[in-house]
Amino acid sequence: MANPAHVAIIMDGNGRWAKARGLPRLAGHRAGVEALRGAVRAAPDLGIAWLTVYAFSSENWSRPKSEVNDLMGLLKIFIRRDLAELHQSGVRVRIIGDRQGLSPDIRALLEEAETLTAANTRLNLVIAFNYGSRDEIARAAKRIAHAVEARLLPPEDVTPELFAEYLDTTGIPDPDLVIRTSGEQRLSNFLLWQAAYAEFVFLPCYWPDFSRADLVEAIRTFAARDRRYGGVTARDVAS
Ligand code: IPE
Ligand code: IPE
Ligand code: MG
């Protein structure tokens, strides 16, 4: 099978990576940003056109206030420090998640990143920040309900295709491959709708240790899978 065009990654295990080294969790998150830089650099060479990364979930607010502040600070540092380089290397940045729940300075930075890089084509980097699928789906349903109420949308027009247009990911192809590091095997509210027919690869390594070799290996695993989408393969039909 061809390489995946859209890879989505649940970057998990920063805290355990730090703990294993006797370091504060913040050190793990910092090392996680380095691993993200590596993945962004590696992706285009591997034929990946879309890379989505789960950076902060709608449930991550339940962490201690100091850790939430650290994660907000790291996002700001990442955008401020890396935006010029991302732009130069042809990366188009897009953010999914609930922006209203973020501070005005972060919202402004996210908009700046999207606007500056809007015409780039080498890699689409989608950052899921303050993202949760249930929240995304509920927000979409609310907007659809308002459109129906205002008689702008007949209820009969609500199809899966139309619904997808109201999600944060409108215009983004569904992920082909979802990778989660750290050994956990769950979605944690990530792309529930979009990953309906994605392949899943779970890796034991903690996110800061994720390397280009891990990405290559995950793509190889993906390529050996047989995606049937509920149908039958050409081989089944022939026999
Ligand atoms: C992933 O690492 C980063 C975020 C969720 C922001 P964790 O912080 O979840 O690390 P573990 O799972 O506690 O090891
Ligand atoms: C998922 O990881 C969210 C991100 C990677 C941003 P979590 O560490 O928050 O997920 P759970 O709590 O283990 O399910
Ligand atoms: Mg975790």
Average pLDDT, the chain: 97
Per-residue confidence (pLDDT) for residue 234, from 0 to 100: 66
Write 225-234 long-range contacts (CB < 8 A, 24+).
225/1, 225/199, 226/1, 227/1, 227/197, 227/199, 229/197
**Residue 124 bears catalytic tag:** no
Q: How much distance in Å is there from the Cα of 10 to the middle of ligand 3?
A: 9
Q: Whose CA is nearest to atom 2 of ligand 2?
A: 12
Could you tell me whether strands 177-180 and 123-131 are parallel, antiparallel, or unpaired per DSSP bridges? unpaired
pLDDT in tens, 84-112: 999 999 999 999 999 999 999 999 999 99
Distance CA 129, CA 110 (A): 10
The pLDDT assigned to 89 comes to: 98
Mean pLDDT confidence for 158-173: 98
Residue 23 has pLDDT above 90, yes or no: yes
pLDDT attached to residue 238:
65
> Distance from the CA of 133 to the center of ligand 1, in angstroms?
18
Percent of the chain with pLDDT over 90: 96
pLDDT digits (tens, 9 = 90+) for 40-60: 999 999 999 999 999 999 999
Q: Does residue 54's CB lie within 6 angstroms of at least one atom of ligand 2?
A: yes
| Cα–Cα distance, 208 to 28 (Å, whole number) | 7
pLDDT value at residue 76: 98
pLDDT reading at 65 higher than 60: yes
* pLDDT, position 233: 80
In short, whether 16's Cβ falls inside 6 Å of ligand 1 is: yes
pTM for the model: 0.97
Minimum CA distance residue for ligand 2 atom 1: 188
| Residue of 11, 16, 36, 70 best suited for mutating to test ligand 1, as the one with most atoms within 8 Å of CB | 16
Q: Write down the catalytic residue from 12, 135, 168, 176.
A: 12
The tokens of 208 are what? 């800061």
The runs of H, that is alpha helices, within the chain are 14-20, 25-42, 65-88, 104-117, 133-149, 160-165, 212-223, 234-238
User: Does 131 sit in the ligand 2 pocket, CB within 6 Å?
Assistant: no
* Any ligand 2 atom below 6 A from CB of 130: no
Q: Give me 79's structure tokens.
A: 């955008």
- Catalytic status, residue 12: yes
Distance CA(183)–CA(204), nearest Å, equals 4
5-41: b (≥16 Cβ within 10 Å) or e: ebbbbbbbbbbbbbeeeeeebbbbbbbbbebbebbbe
* 95-128 core/surface letters (b: 16 or more CB in 10 A; e: else): bbbeeeebeeebeebbeebeeebeebeebbbbbb
Q: Is the pLDDT of residue 239 over 90?
A: no
Best of 10, 12, 187 to mutate for ligand 1, by most ligand atoms within 8 A of CB?
12
